[in-house]
Structure 1
């Protein structure tokens, strides 16, 4: 859609107001949320024969669909989820949840965990869509390369299902289980049942095709971490004779291969560094199966039995030169306690690969190469607390003896390995360029220095290095080329810098192309651990997403023949398109498409006609779902792309949502919401939903509010004034442009960074009748040295280099003045705008006392202010019950000040803390 069509839509909207008014529609209310649906979990088989997806309400029972694309026959499985389809398109497996109402009733009745309703397993024969179900399922698994069998865990064991014959085989007292890749073997650990004298602790290997079980080991108190190799012929697992519960176990690493069980690493192993094989070792095979990798860890001894809790001090010690502060240690406690250092067993010798705690090891050639990549930031951990450039030291580590060769020192980036291991590649945050390192020769190449275009964020307005446009460059077979995006286009680079080719031409028309592979090539988490992926071949199509910076339209594109004569195609349209799903071995595409007025439904195109353009193919695709038909019963609206000039002359974009049914001469209230830039979401579908923190656009538009969402750009050192420059100028421009906006009934609302700007703006202007500030920073001077409790990081870098954009420390010349200038609490005496604050006591991003500081200072000056503190809640609300509560209170607050609605009791009288679980104060105060 071009700008002319956008204008035409707006004109059409105005002309049809009278007709629309003849059909009364309801306004959305807070009872509609649960039934609003979305399409998710789209899966297509490699041969393109079957497509599956789910349609789920926000709360309640969803449906899983499986469709035969050729015949159109569709199977519906109520409450189905977690589908696995065999690569040969013979079988499918999924879980079926209990009915939502049944589970809710069980919770109300406070049933114990064992008595709660359980999932079922559905086994589906795709040829005729016949379904067999098995009840009381805790989990299920099947193979990867083929799925002739499935297994599911129930309370007392594991059941193996043969879908072809319908037979089942039960392994009692099984606690864990894992399939081989070919799906024909199953390894199971058994745990002795004290009530069953015949039960044993053991590890059992089941040959499912032959119907044979072999007990590989028995009568040891611990078995764990079972993994097959890719050929499905070898199994590695841990075992231990240790019985202490509060200490590490000394484990042996065992391999079963060709009918023989052997001990690869004994439980007595102890490296020169004191590391041992414990229960967290998690051994796994290289791609060939010739090597075994495992993690070595520290031995944690049992707790001293002479120390008693009531006599033991509990203290956190903060050390000035420690890499991790106590808050970071608490967050990473499990990771620290269970930390292992990647090692390899090669020729019977254990070789440690990972050096320090922070050393990240990446394998080459599926673990069968001669070396691994080490990226270690230990030397720079301390300064990373305040330095935005995270430096690393990069080494190549020999898998033969663990020797290291440092190849990059203090590089500002995170190098990765090309698929064949021939090159390292990274974006350098110091010079803002893409680099490669040729492993064979040690040569370095700057790939982008000679390009007359920027591969870094051209619009960066934070006081730090600009980030790259491309975080995941793709490679071609043989490491021949690497594909990297700039702002608009995709480029093909020879990794030695010898050639550059631009594959698209988006810059002249300001269309952004981004590459991404929509084909599921079947790589598992285990494959990714080995560094395996899918480099493009000459016959592969590179799929692209497209986005117009001018019209905000979206679409798809592709590049063919990128090794030789390049052919491209793309389209743009006034919709948001979800990530496409493409069959690996057939010309079948599935995608979702929707916008503000049109729900995001699923479409499929089973094949391109001769010379058919991508645009016509997408336009002629068949719609498979029809979600949210109830939307037509409610008042909705339209969205327009708007432009204005900020006070300092900066051209800006924004979105204006206009409620339908505005009568001639009618005035409506305006809600202004903002967070950085949002104009690119013009065509995004928006659905009524309980608020986690911000106003819901469809809800407010349906209830007669116009909603304005301006883009905001910033100048370092003055984020508050930057917000004023963009937001207030935009508000005034909208009032001038749209005669239906009531200048006396306008409000602002924002969350987090937006919440801070709300707090600042009401100290700067009385333009708005009411304000909502979620998780605001009120005092930058106290927040500066605070902690982001979710990560444990000190907040200083956020102000010096990050989103808060001060650009200086408090001690730099002029720094303190900037922190005071931008801190709302130093100016609260000027506030005239009633404000509703949300500050939750488990906020991991903004310290909740920031909201308290702001509220307390407003209260001192008796400014009308309220603070909502949701107990044990996060930065953005998680519990749906709290989201619904916030949605009601936000609307009551704004309706009172902008629409003259009666003040609710909670605003007039509050809610006593001892009544908060039984009284809500939603009723009118009068």
Structure 2
């Protein structure tokens, strides 16, 4: 690049225009210089990039911890002061946590690093296997293991070790973090103890020097009772336990003796079993656990696929393998035992007070082809009387459609586009949303699927009111009177208000096979997310007195919101802005605390342009176009079109450059190598998904061609999974694309319809009739539609060279679909290559395979779109 300047004549008085021009040049030179100095991004630079993830915010909001993840595995955990530049870093650190007393602990390969955040004083404790801070933050409790010897120690922070117990492998802290329970083993003798912290620091013996071993400790929510397993001798080659309950108030200990109950299964063994975890009720009246049964022997020489079976043979085997146990309850004070689930009703969840179990049979309405799991009849089992009553018939099995309340008074369920409440005490059903002038059902999408509830965040204290979402707002409804209040004003402003999610995608918690609502506190200020119609996310504060008040918003992507007191932090990113951590204190303007990947600005980076276009039916669609990093408007470039349903909402994702993608494609890698990459949205017509993909993809691609940026003769197409199917089909209908890549693709809709998912054993028919494959009816009712939308049936029309790939252990889309298409193209004499990766699934997990696939995909497009014909494996394969 030439630098132009204007010489200044030596005269007594400077010409003002010349002087001004000179100053402008001086001001602009650093900018020009900076632009010139930006380096071209190469593979050798990729290792510099990291992925930023917020971990935690201290209780006073003064410190934030976060981790930078690198492809090399050299991850680092940081702790930074949100008010100044003070920070600490811990290479390969993980599982960090704060103490209320100003300490921070983090696991590392050697053990545990402990640091006092104010003074910076550090202490390394080696061989730590687990740890926790006490509730007041003055003690650190940890277990260590070295040379086979384990022990538990309690460190008074800033002082000395006050407890050391040999032979302890793990401990269980109570909910308030004021007590721990553990089992110590010395000379083959076990002791169970409780240690209480705080002013009344003490040790209490529950069991002393017995020859049994104890494990699986669980507290009740009141922290005044503990249940745990006592390991017995093996039973029919299986682990077997008994159960012990200890009451901290009465100091009473109860032990289950299964042999004393005539109704205890003779071939059953008490075990810790997955989601059937050991649980005790708050009143210590009941203890719940799993009883495992031996697997039924099958004939290894023949599989009997019964024509009238509710489930097909593979699905039955998956269920049988994962559900050998049944749920049981023990009443310690009454010395009574009862099995809860059975072959008739193997599905279970509980009311919030554990007075009732809700049981069902997932096979009840099978076979059916509408959803993956069919509807069920729900029965309410009174645990005290053992009486079982049907209360909900043919109800959706979706776990968020039937949810017990936290205190156990109600069961909320969504049915026929409305929320209903079942009053357990009075045995009454009530529609609580039917008279409200709004929609609590999710909006229609271009899938032939039954719509579900928008959502139920939970209940207020003591089950007084239920909190529900409509399509824009949050409602509070009294389940007895039906009185309703709309808490937010999203409908008027085209904003969708939702509570901020902390740790999961849903509100509530797992409830064995089902779900349990959480308690929503509406008495204090509540943080809300507000999503505007144009996609901007706002963060709001809400209270009963002041409704919603905007704290801040962003046109970029906001995620990982966390709040402690008046301090709010979040992660912000955009396509050309690496993730950064922002902070707002007491409603003040956001400021950057941490900026990741600062080297980003030293390199050429692609621009992004939003593209608006219409399909042939006039539907308005959007996509986004990523420019070559060193874009020169005087040149025409090749372009790769990436497809998979709707992608426009991904435009604000910051993508790290990488040649290790599990699907072999990284947009920044292609942009850095002189490619445009286009991500179009696709709108589907039910029963015509292949042609919909052609229509929308071609329309979007032509809209980009009209911009005059690319060479229309050098356009490639790529997709994976459903996008792989779309890629294969599109090239049967148009010659617009000069080369294509399809990964893990379904190619024959008839045979795919008549297949099953190897992970779940479930037939795939429902995916076609009511889900992603969007046919809307069975193959037998629309054979022509299935055939017309199958790439295999139109393979003879293909002129586009195709690189296909799959893993030979793909249990999501049968990899034989790729083989079938390969053989069809081979018979037709088409240009193609198939890459089949050993011991890989639907996407690639092995690093060397990711590297190989990414390299070959790039070379494939270079060969056809850049005329780089020096790739021997391609020449030899066509």
Taking structure 2 as the reference length, what is the TM-score of the superposition? 0.87
Tell me the distance in 2 between the aligned counterparts of 1:216 and 1:77: 40
Tell me the distance in 2 between the aligned counterparts of 1:139 and 1:326: 43
The question of whether the paired residues in 1 share the 8 Å contact of 2:351 and 2:358 is answered with no
User: Could you give the per-residue CA deviations for residues 71-90 of structure 1, whole angstroms, max 9, x where no partner exists?
Assistant: 6532322222101223x344
| Aligned residue number for residue 557 of structure 2 | 576
Q: Are positions 1:83 and 2:62 aligned together?
A: no
Tell me the distance in 1 between the aligned counterparts of 2:511 and 2:161: 32
| Aligned residue number for residue 592 of structure 2 | 623
Superposed counterparts of 1:734-883, under 5 Å: 734-736=704-706, 738-812=707-781, 815-883=782-850
CA-CA distance at 1:896 after TM superposition = 1.4
The question of whether the paired residues in 1 share the 8 Å contact of 2:625 and 2:677 is answered with yes
| Aligned residue number for residue 216 of structure 1 | 207
Tell me the distance in 2 between the aligned counterparts of 1:528 and 1:376: 13
| Aligned residue number for residue 188 of structure 2 | 200
Q: Which moved more, 1:749-758 or 1:623-632?
A: 623-632
The question of whether the paired residues in 2 share the 8 Å contact of 1:189 and 1:201 is answered with no
1:167 paired residue among 140, 161, 177: 161
Tell me the distance in 1 between the aligned counterparts of 2:508 and 2:555: 36
Tell me the distance in 2 between the aligned counterparts of 1:847 and 1:671: 26
Superposed counterparts of 1:575-724, under 5 Å: 575-583=556-564, 586-608=565-587, 617=588, 620-689=589-658, 690-693=660-663, 695-724=665-694
Tell me the distance in 1 between the aligned counterparts of 2:232 and 2:371: 48
CA-CA distance at 1:607 after TM superposition = 2.1
Tell me the distance in 1 between the aligned counterparts of 2:261 and 2:876: 67
2:151 paired residue among 158, 177, 185: 158
1:328 paired residue among 315, 328, 331: 315
| Aligned residue number for residue 392 of structure 1 | 376
Q: Are positions 1:293 and 2:287 aligned together?
A: yes
Superposed counterparts of 1:226-241, under 5 Å: 226-241=217-232
The question of whether the paired residues in 2 share the 8 Å contact of 1:148 and 1:183 is answered with no
1:372 paired residue among 352, 356, 364: 356
CA-CA distance at 1:48 after TM superposition = 3.0
- Relative distance call for 1:365 and 1:462 in structure 2 (3 A) is closer
Tell me the distance in 1 between the aligned counterparts of 2:363 and 2:331: 25
The question of whether the paired residues in 2 share the 8 Å contact of 1:634 and 1:702 is answered with no
- Relative distance call for 1:344 and 1:397 in structure 2 (3 A) is farther
| Aligned residue number for residue 247 of structure 1 | 238
2:410 paired residue among 380, 405, 423: 423
Q: Are positions 1:498 and 2:498 aligned together?
A: no
Tell me the distance in 1 between the aligned counterparts of 2:777 and 2:286: 50
User: Could you give the per-residue CA deviations for residues 790-815 of structure 1, whole angstroms, max 9, x where no partner exists?
Assistant: 22211111111111111121222xx2
CA-CA distance at 1:22 after TM superposition = 5.6
| Helix, strand or coil at the partner of 1:76 | strand
CA-CA distance at 1:232 after TM superposition = 4.5
Superposed counterparts of 1:262-301, under 5 Å: 262-270=253-261, 272=263, 274=265, 276=268, 278-280=270-272, 284=278, 286=280, 288-300=282-294
**Structure 2 unaligned spans of 5+:** 1-27
- Relative distance call for 1:21 and 1:793 in structure 2 (3 A) is farther
| Aligned residue number for residue 401 of structure 1 | 385
Q: Which moved more, 1:256-265 or 1:574-583?
A: 256-265
CA-CA distance at 1:355 after TM superposition = 4.7
Tell me the distance in 2 between the aligned counterparts of 1:853 and 1:769: 23
Identify the structure with the greater strand proportion: 2
| Aligned residue number for residue 102 of structure 1 | none
Superposed counterparts of 1:48-63, under 5 Å: 48-63=61-76
User: Could you give the per-residue CA deviations for residues 297-350 of structure 1, whole angstroms, max 9, x where no partner exists?
Assistant: 1443999xxxxx9xx955544344445544335545653234544665563322
| Aligned residue number for residue 11 of structure 1 | none
User: Could you give the per-residue CA deviations for residues 487-542 of structure 1, whole angstroms, max 9, x where no partner exists?
Assistant: 3333333335734444444445543333235499xx99899999887533343333
User: Could you give the per-residue CA deviations for residues 106-137 of structure 1, whole angstroms, max 9, x where no partner exists?
Assistant: xxxxxxxxxxxxx4112333443422112233
User: Could you give the per-residue CA deviations for residues 591-627 of structure 1, whole angstroms, max 9, x where no partner exists?
Assistant: 111101111111222323xxxxxxxx3xx33322221
Tell me the distance in 1 between the aligned counterparts of 2:152 and 2:451: 54
CA-CA distance at 1:56 after TM superposition = 2.3
Q: Are positions 1:94 and 2:94 aligned together?
A: no
2:531 paired residue among 539, 542, 547: 547
Tell me the distance in 1 between the aligned counterparts of 2:313 and 2:216: 31
| Aligned residue number for residue 104 of structure 1 | none
| Helix, strand or coil at the partner of 2:730 | helix
1:535 paired residue among 504, 509, 519: 519
- Relative distance call for 1:244 and 1:592 in structure 2 (3 A) is same
| Aligned residue number for residue 559 of structure 1 | 542
User: Could you give the per-residue CA deviations for residues 649-706 of structure 1, whole angstroms, max 9, x where no partner exists?
Assistant: 1111111222344323311112111211121222222222322116322222222222
Tell me the distance in 2 between the aligned counterparts of 1:234 and 1:480: 27
Tell me the distance in 2 between the aligned counterparts of 1:718 and 1:445: 41
Tell me the distance in 2 between the aligned counterparts of 1:181 and 1:147: 17
1:458 paired residue among 430, 439, 443: 443
| Helix, strand or coil at the partner of 2:577 | coil
| Aligned residue number for residue 16 of structure 2 | none
Tell me the distance in 1 between the aligned counterparts of 2:101 and 2:380: 43
| Helix, strand or coil at the partner of 2:519 | coil
User: Could you give the per-residue CA deviations for residues 205-241 of structure 1, whole angstroms, max 9, x where no partner exists?
Assistant: 2537667574725554553322234454543222244
The question of whether the paired residues in 2 share the 8 Å contact of 1:543 and 1:558 is answered with yes
Number of aligned residue pairs: 835
Taking structure 1 as the reference length, what is the TM-score of the superposition? 0.82
- Relative distance call for 1:907 and 1:203 in structure 2 (3 A) is farther
CA-CA distance at 1:871 after TM superposition = 1.6
The question of whether the paired residues in 2 share the 8 Å contact of 1:220 and 1:240 is answered with no
User: Could you give the per-residue CA deviations for residues 270-312 of structure 1, whole angstroms, max 9, x where no partner exists?
Assistant: 4537275512377755463523322241443999xxxxx9xx9
The question of whether the paired residues in 1 share the 8 Å contact of 2:231 and 2:240 is answered with yes
Tell me the distance in 2 between the aligned counterparts of 1:807 and 1:448: 29
CA-CA distance at 1:243 after TM superposition = 4.0
- Relative distance call for 1:417 and 1:235 in structure 2 (3 A) is closer
The question of whether the paired residues in 2 share the 8 Å contact of 1:372 and 1:398 is answered with yes
CA-CA distance at 1:422 after TM superposition = 3.0
The question of whether the paired residues in 1 share the 8 Å contact of 2:500 and 2:561 is answered with no
Q: Which moved more, 1:314-323 or 1:757-766?
A: 314-323
| Aligned residue number for residue 613 of structure 1 | none
| Aligned residue number for residue 17 of structure 2 | none
| Aligned residue number for residue 107 of structure 1 | none
Tell me the distance in 2 between the aligned counterparts of 1:636 and 1:603: 23
2:79 paired residue among 50, 56, 66: 66
Q: Which moved more, 1:739-748 or 1:213-222?
A: 213-222
| Helix, strand or coil at the partner of 1:625 | strand
| Helix, strand or coil at the partner of 1:659 | coil
The question of whether the paired residues in 1 share the 8 Å contact of 2:352 and 2:405 is answered with no
